[in-house]
Amino acid sequence: MALSVGNSNFKHQRWLSFVTADIDWAIFFAALLLTCAGLVTMYSFKGDNLLFEKQIISLGLSVAVFFTLSFFDFRFLRQSKVSMGLYLAVILILTALLFGGRTVKGAQSWFDFGGFAFQPVDLAKVVLIAVLSKYFSRRHIEIANLRHLIISGVYTSLIAFLVLLQPDFGSAIIIMMIWFGMVWISGISKKHILGFFLFVVVSSLFLWSQVFEEYQKQRIINFMNPLADIRGTGYNAFQSTVAVGSGELLGKGVGFGTQSRLKFLPEYETDFIFSAFSEEWGFLGVLFLFSLYGLVFWRLILSAWHGATNFETLFCVGAVVFFLSHFLIHVGMNIGLLPVTGTTLPFMSYGGSHLLAEYSILGVIMGMRKYRRAADRESATNEVVGFV
């Protein structure tokens, strides 16, 4: 009987060590704290809390997906037929969106299913990371070959073009940044970097004259001189910088942000949630916020370093670029350094689609940790067993 109980306890300990060793709890709790910071910022102590309640539901679903994905073996993503199947599915979904999507604030970016809406661009970014990881992992030695840069660029540009047609300028920029970041890590020659920037210049001229809507042009013009029209195109940027500056050292306190709570700052739950948080929590609160993001980036970089193969390493690198791009663009436009593009802040901004995508990326990386380098896995397991 004693032997049976002992075996049961040993099996339980082994199972517990298997689960906990594969979950990076530091990155999970950092992401969770960031989401909670967003929830506190969008919560209203009086009046309607519909967005807050919906975000709570989205968080519960996202966390469930995170843990579910952490149990999967994602080595099947290395197969060409799987990655290309996902890519073609995304292309079809983005194309269908142009014909049957719902238009919100000038962008046809949503599928409306009655009780909930879904924004496919967030899914497209995750799939693009997987596709580029698969492509570059097989060709990392030949990455200096211009042909591979062109092919990977075509894959990326097709998605970016469909997103631009919505139009969603901010997401299109992030998609291209994901491609460039992964190409850079894969190894790119200086002459190709120069060629890329020349391509960007030419493409920018074409986009300005043929693709950009008038309001998008006004945002860029306003970026050059944000105070030229603070009652018009520069209003959001002006109110955002006022909110950030008014937080000073300690902030005005939770629920006492005048710019956001009195509606001077529009979209404070989504596009300008960093400004709303800064006003209520101040400089010290922002430092704490940045430390949480720094922890997320650092742990993702460690996961990339210990990836089982080039595919896992590149996927983690893509995740870092994904989160870092969103973070830099959102904060930049909130403090007046970048034009307003409607980019969300990872884990904090309101929206179930992007929250689900972000926790899904982390869940996939947790699943990849199951078969990371043998020495690292053994070390982590022994560490957890010793702790338990």
* 49-65 residue pLDDT tens: 788 888 999 999 999 99
Q: What is the pTM of this model?
A: 0.84
Mean pLDDT of the chain: 81
Annotate 374-385 with b (16+ C-beta within 10 A) or e (fewer): eeebeebbeebe
Could you give the CA distance from residue 137 to residue 121 in angstroms, rounded to a whole number?
24
What confidence category does residue 274 fall into, taking pLDDT thresholds of 50, 70 and 90?
A: very high
**Residue 56 confidence (pLDDT):** 93
Share of the chain above pLDDT 70, in %: 79
Backbone angles phi, psi at 181, to 5 degrees: -65, -40
Collapse the DSSP code of 117 into the 3-class scheme (helix H, G, I; strand E, B; otherwise coil) and give the result.
Answer: strand
Phi-psi region of 359 (alpha: psi -120 to 50; beta: other; left: phi over 0): alpha
**Residue 290 confidence (pLDDT):** 96
pLDDT of 387 over the 70 cut = no
Rounded to 10 deg, the angle between the 25-42 and 352-368 helix axes is: 170
Residue spans per domain, the chain: 25-371
- As separate numbers, helices (DSSP H) first and strands (DSSP E) second, the chain gives 15, 3
Annotate 265-291 with b (16+ C-beta within 10 A) or e (fewer): bebbbbbbbbbbbbbbbbeebbeebee
Share of the chain above pLDDT 90, in %: 34
Q: What is the mean pLDDT of residues 155-167?
A: 90
Neighbour-count burial of 370, counting CB atoms closer than 10 A to its CB (0-12 exposed, 13-18 middle, 19+ buried): middle
**Residue 66 confidence (pLDDT):** 95
Cβ atoms of 343 and 267 within 8 Å: the answer is no
Could you give the CA distance from residue 387 to residue 384 in angstroms, rounded to a whole number?
5
**Residue 3 confidence (pLDDT):** 46
**Residue 347 confidence (pLDDT):** 95
What confidence category does residue 378 fall into, taking pLDDT thresholds of 50, 70 and 90?
A: very low
Could you give the CA distance from residue 284 to residue 252 in angstroms, rounded to a whole number?
12
Which amino acid is it at 231? Answer: R
Could you give the CA distance from residue 323 to residue 307 in angstroms, rounded to a whole number?
19
What confidence category does residue 198 fall into, taking pLDDT thresholds of 50, 70 and 90?
A: confident
> In this structure, are strands 102-104 and 107-112 parallel, antiparallel, or unpaired?
antiparallel
Could you give the CA distance from residue 92 to residue 75 in angstroms, rounded to a whole number?
25
pLDDT of 130 over the 60 cut = yes
Highest mean pLDDT among 30-34, 77-81, 179-183, 338-342: 30-34
Could you give the CA distance from residue 32 to residue 30 in angstroms, rounded to a whole number?
5
- 355: Cβ–Cβ under 8 A, 6 or more apart, which residues? 35, 55, 58, 59, 62, 347
pLDDT of 363 over the 70 cut = yes
CA angle 170, 269, 36 (to 5 degrees): 110
**Residue 23 confidence (pLDDT):** 87
Which amino acid is it at 249? Answer: L
Q: What is the mean pLDDT of residues 70-98?
A: 90
Per the model's pLDDT, the better-predicted residue between 215 and 326 turns out to be 326
Cβ atoms of 119 and 304 within 8 Å: the answer is no
Task: Give the CA dihedral 216, 217, 222, 228, nearest 10 degrees.
Answer: -120
Per the model's pLDDT, the better-predicted residue between 193 and 18 turns out to be 193
